[in-house]
Amino acid sequence: MTLAGSADWVRGFPGHPTIVLMEAFRLSNPRIELVLLLAATAVSRFVFRSHYLYDIDSVNFALAMKRFDPRVHQPHPPGYFLYILAGRLLNGIAHDANAALVAMSIAASCGAAVVVACLASDWFGAGAGRFAGLLFLFSPLAWFHGTVALTYIVETFFSALVGYLLWRGKVYAGAVALGLAAGFRPSSLLFLGPLLLFALRGLPRRRQVGSLAVLVATLLAWMLPMVAASGGFHVWWSSLAALWTAVPGKETVVNSSIANSFARLLTIVLICGLCFGCAALLPLFTRSRLPPGIATFIWAWVLPGLLFFTFVFLKFVNSGYLLVLSPPVFAWLGLLAAGWWRSRKAMLTGPIAALCLAANTAVFLFAPFYCSWASVRKFERQLADVVATLPSAGAPGDTLIVGFDSHFMGYRHAGYYLPRYTTIEYPRMRIADGPRIFTMEHRDTSAAREIDSARFTRFVIFPLPDDKSSRDYMAGVDAKLGITGQAGKAFVTGPIGALNLLFPAGGR
């Protein structure tokens, strides 16, 4: 929010508690509203922060803070090099990997909230900036990602910063920000690179070439050390190619059907509801024509990502992908919210606005999706219970843990939170060297062709979340193992030799 516009922050917002507080204490500093927004964002994320590494990717990041090796997904390719380095720095203070990465998410949330408010204020005035900040503050999806150890909210901050700098004509600073963003989450270059090219149109050739040179220099400053840490370019690239082939590459519009792309489009609509909450309904009740320059800039910002998520890859469990496109939408919705506020009677607007914010809060707290506070707490309770009770099924010296390639309660959580055990992943992971069994010991990963079964007498299966899809999957695993009669037991166990049924010699 610009300082010139911030003086109008309170206009048209009678009776709001923030305004009452400001007037009561005669807070006339033009920056006070941004400080309040930043503080509210920090407190709301900190209070509901996660206490365990929530997702499989979260564990990958934590493992990479100890040893960086994308070949064995520490972290998964393409590497997230600057994110890992920042995590190591914060871990030197926190001495807890999850706390360090969550602190980064909270800081990024604060930065994103402020820059979104500034962007909306620049585009549409102080009223829109105020509402855009509030909408981000109470966004269920942004709130969730500000509380867990994932990269999506960091990418959101950089997206807002890059867009804001480019809109203000600061193309060199925007190029640096984009280069740094790609170091935290490489997909930022794909989604925001076109916006930089759009911003460079019509500028003198010297500034165009200079901006691109700055971007390349910023990228090389972290890419060269990352490639070296990965074991060389061939190793890094082959690891990335193997992961692409195994997962996203199978689901593009080229390799699947148009129906899949239509399903992804519907998923985008659902995720937008999670991201913007009640504000997603604003276009149905109020309209505001965007200036052509701003409208074109917004389309250059969001269209590349929308095309990718529709025709290439998107899953609901990766809803955070969409946050990179959200800053200009928050700004636009801030404009609509400000117009709606002015066009209604004050007697009605206040209660309706409060009800909408309460509804967004309820979605974040209690929605039956993976990205709610209730789901995080349920996961953490189950994980803590399993970690505490699994040793009753066998001692670390002679018991092998079998975990699954699952976002939640998978082999990564088993290996990280039970580091004295050896944990293997089912099924085999296809990497550049071929199908391998990821094996975790003492919070480090190696890739083996076969199980070293001579070291163990029994195995125990690390349980998946208690839901229908997990139970159906486990039924198939039990059938392969020929295990019966263990219903109701806390853990499925068996003799080590039975694992040959899951991992046949030379299996692919």
> Do the beta carbons of residue 167 and residue 122 sit within 8 Å?
yes
Tokens coding 237: 């690239």
pLDDT number for residue 287: 82
Indicate the DSSP class of residue 493: E
**Which residue type does 433 have?**
D
Any domain includes 104: yes
Same domain, 161 and 49: yes
pLDDT at 3 over 90: no
Question: What is the number of domains present in the chain?
Answer: 2
- Residue 505 or residue 154, greater confidence: 154
Question: In angstroms, how far is the first alpha carbon of the chain from the final one?
Answer: 56
Q: Which of 454, 453, 449 is nearest to 505 (CA)?
A: 449
Any domain includes 42: yes
pLDDT at 10 over 50: no
pLDDT at 12 over 70: no
**Last residue within a domain, chosen from 349, 368, 396:** 349
**Which residue type does 63 have?**
L
Same domain, 36 and 113: yes
Mean pLDDT for the stretch of residues 159-188? 98
Same domain, 336 and 391: no
Same domain, 330 and 407: no
pLDDT number for residue 347: 65
Mean pLDDT for the stretch of residues 439-447? 97
pLDDT at 25 over 70: no
Tokens coding 266: 């519907």
Instruction: Give the separation between CA 15 and CA 314, rounded to whole angstroms.
Output: 42
> Do the beta carbons of residue 405 and residue 429 sit within 8 Å?
yes
Any domain includes 496: yes
pLDDT, averaged across the chain:
91
pLDDT number for residue 28: 43
Any domain includes 245: no
CA neighbours closer than 13 Å in the CB half-sphere of residue 221: 16
Cα 36 off chain centre by:
25
Cβ atoms within 10 Å of 401's Cβ, excluding its own: 23
Instruction: Give the separation between CA 365 and CA 91, rounded to whole angstroms.
Output: 28
Mean pLDDT for the stretch of residues 151-169? 98
Any domain includes 62: no
Q: Which of 503, 324, 405, 314 is nearest to 73 (CA)?
A: 405
pLDDT number for residue 507: 66
pTM equals: 0.92
Any domain includes 357: no
Instruction: Give the separation between CA 70 and CA 212, rounded to whole angstroms.
Output: 28
Same domain, 28 and 129: yes
Mean pLDDT for the stretch of residues 166-191? 98
Instruction: Give the separation between CA 188 and CA 372, rounded to whole angstroms.
Output: 25
Same domain, 142 and 272: yes
Tens of pLDDT along 197-229?
999 999 999 999 999 999 999 999 999 999 999
Task: Please state, for a pLDDT cut of 70, what percent of the chain lies above it.
Answer: 92
Any domain includes 72: no
pLDDT number for residue 256: 83
Same domain, 337 and 419: no
**Checking DSSP bridges between strand 422-426 and strand 444-448, what pairing results, if any?**
unpaired
Instruction: Give the separation between CA 251 and CA 262, rounded to whole angstroms.
Output: 12
Label residue 497 exposed, middle or buried (CB < 10 Å: 0-12, 13-18, 19+): exposed
Tens of pLDDT along 344-398?
666 678 889 999 999 999 999 999 999 999 999 999 999 999 999 999 999 998 9
Instruction: Give the separation between CA 331 and CA 326, rounded to whole angstroms.
Output: 9
| Residue bearing tokens 């309904």 | 281
- Residue 287 or residue 78, greater confidence: 78
> Do the beta carbons of residue 460 and residue 492 sit within 8 Å?
yes
Tens of pLDDT along 106-136?
999 999 999 999 999 999 999 999 999 999 9
Same domain, 322 and 426: no
- Domain that includes residue 121, residue range: 3-54+90-233+251-349
Name the pLDDT band for 453 (thresholds 50, 70, 90): confident
Instruction: Give the separation between CA 27 and CA 114, rounded to whole angstroms.
Output: 19
Any domain includes 255: yes
Instruction: Give the separation between CA 296 and CA 318, rounded to whole angstroms.
Output: 28
Same domain, 390 and 437: yes
> Do the beta carbons of residue 115 and residue 164 sit within 8 Å?
yes
pLDDT number for residue 487: 53
Tens of pLDDT along 300-351?
999 999 999 999 999 999 999 999 999 999 999 999 999 998 886 666 788 8
Same domain, 196 and 269: yes
Same domain, 211 and 175: yes
Tokens coding 118: 């500034």
Tokens coding 437: 């069994």
Same domain, 322 and 446: no
